[in-house]
Chains A and B, each alone.
Chain A
Amino acid sequence: MTPVREFLYFLILLTIFSVLLFLWKAEKEIPASALVVQEPIPTLVQKTSSPDDTLNTQKIEQALAEIPATQQPAAGLFHPVPLIFAEDDSLRFQLLERQLQQAAQSNLPVRVIYFGDSQIENDRITSALRTQLQAHFTGKGPGFVPLDLYYNVRHKLHIETSKNWEIKTFQHKDFINESLLFKNALLTSANAEGWFRIRRIKRLNPAPDYQLMKLYYTAKDSCLVTVMQGRDLIYSGYLLPQHQISTLDFQFNRTPDDIRFDFAAKDSLNIAGLSLETGSGVLVDNIALRGLSYPTFESSNQAAIVQMLRQVNVGLFVLHFGVNLVPVQADDYPNFRRNFQRQIDFLKRVSTDTPILIIGVSDMAQMHNGEFVSYPNIPVIKRIQYEIAMQNHAAFWDLQASMGGQGAMSRWVNADPALGRADYVHFSDEGAEIVGQELSRILLEALQTPADTLAHD
């Protein structure tokens, strides 16, 4: 074998391969027009129309025009994009502002109840938001946490449970959810004893945190509860039968490092959630619903959720969904529109004056011809979210635009440190931190702007 022959061998091989590759790519090529993604916001505004739409679209368009161009990030990857309110929404966040101003003195902490999909799993985004808001308005603790195996990096705590708990979520079709957290921990007569333990990870030197622990539960019959703090028995008593969601509260002088609850139930006991908090200030509750495009209040036991909501002081509902819808390509999403609206109707029925913030779908990429490009339907989903927000006098935050618009996720994944995960869907911890901080910044900005000034802008 001589190098000449080797050369010819390689030449033939490469030529055929290149031709085959070219033919294959030419066949795969999608006409450029199919991939053109419409400029999200202007289109979105123009298409806003509905029977009860009283928006002055011109004004909004004007406000949106002030948003910086999203195509070419200048200094950083994040682009400040303000919240958008409906033109005739004169209240905006006034009530929230009032609640927050009094938060430090109030008996009940003001809660920002943040519903989202897997983008917020493991307290991502919400932990940064919580840190910022609690720095401004006091308060400590992660807020609501489900009774399940749980690990929180920011709060340096983890929850262990015995195996006898039956954990039921919205994914269980034969079960009607009774918790605002969409996760229920059940003990039944057949399986009557269980425990859970909340431990702070001492090795990580956790800072002082929550001092109040609330257990939200219903019980069909009495249930013996024993509570140990470290090795000390601090409580032993019976929970009385409660068909409505009630709470069992424990106040501590300082954050307990290790606390264990033992239950012996005569009949069904459902723990709808825990709240680790302080008696005042602000809390940000992370309610992560992987796989959903909206919280499914409709298919839940609404009465139970209402009972839970009535016991807390909600300052703001945040709805952060959309990435589950993106892989389903369509020109319109009537079912999503209808169902999303129904959930908002529920929240408004329960808590009429509580403002709602809808966060638009984040950017998300798929591979096309060897490159990661944004899904073309993201503007469509975002438009629907925006329209629903405006029709319901909810605030809207264009997260995709804040990330840098079309192609943003690809840039975020390739940033150093990476701000997006390798699946081109989720934020990395660093990315989630940035989103949470930016959200808190624009929230504080919106709170500091007098509503009257904005209304007559």
Chain B
Amino acid sequence: MTGHSNLIPPVAPLLGTRRLSGGMPWVIAIMTALAMLAMAAALVLTPAATALSGQIAGRATIQIVQPDALVRRADVAELRRLLAEEPYVVAVRSLPEEETARLAERWLGEGLSQSDLPLPALIDVDVVRSDDATMARLGAAVRSAVPEARVIPHAEWLGPVARMMSAIGWIAAAIAAMLISCAAVVAVLAVRAALSAQRPMIDILHLVGATDVQVARLFQRLVARDVMAGAILGAVAAVCLSLLVVWQTRGLVAGLAEGAGGLASVVWFLLVPPLVIAVAILASRIAVIRALGELP
């Protein structure tokens, strides 16, 4: 004899039901799907924000506003020569005038020539370190050669975007965590209702010598069955939705996903349903044991 039998009669379930409550699997399914979608957003946005921050950290654009095209071209050449000699400069790339004109076309329309509207010359510079001192040295060097040139660190205008992406990513992760917790709360509420409905049965089990752990195991099985059904359903829905979104916005998502964690992200994404199941079962088990502990 052992003190902890599985208590499951072969003929019929001991609690007289195979289900905890009719609606619980559906609620768990919706929460699992939402948690997975939130997790997917977190897994794409947070690393993408980090990658973007890394990309813009050591980069600046030098803008030369000079209406005379010949002088402007001479300034560009002078700055390229000067920056190539600076030890903290990693790379220098000047934007061809045609490319600058193409960029301006989006706002100003086609057919503009340099004589109609002189466009500034743009030079991208990568520096070794992104600290203020390096940027200040770069600014001083540029102004010494071309006083009307402006140095614009990328972090100045792309930094808020990266920070916003990061914040949205963390908010999505928090939403995923809250939805997983909510699934646990739903399981606890359902199991409490079941405990109340099954009180006469619990009394009989206690009278014939069942331990709280044995009784809790019965309810845990019911919870596990319902939660697993809901989590699987929700996971299938979330995977389908995610694939649909990826397919429809494949260009944007591919760009964002470049910085994402690859296989690790997929693992985290697929870890949500098991996490929902584990947290819900654990929470309901604790709730049952506590409720039983309050009985005489």
Q: Do A and B come from one complex?
A: no
Q: A residues near B, CB below 8 A?
A: none
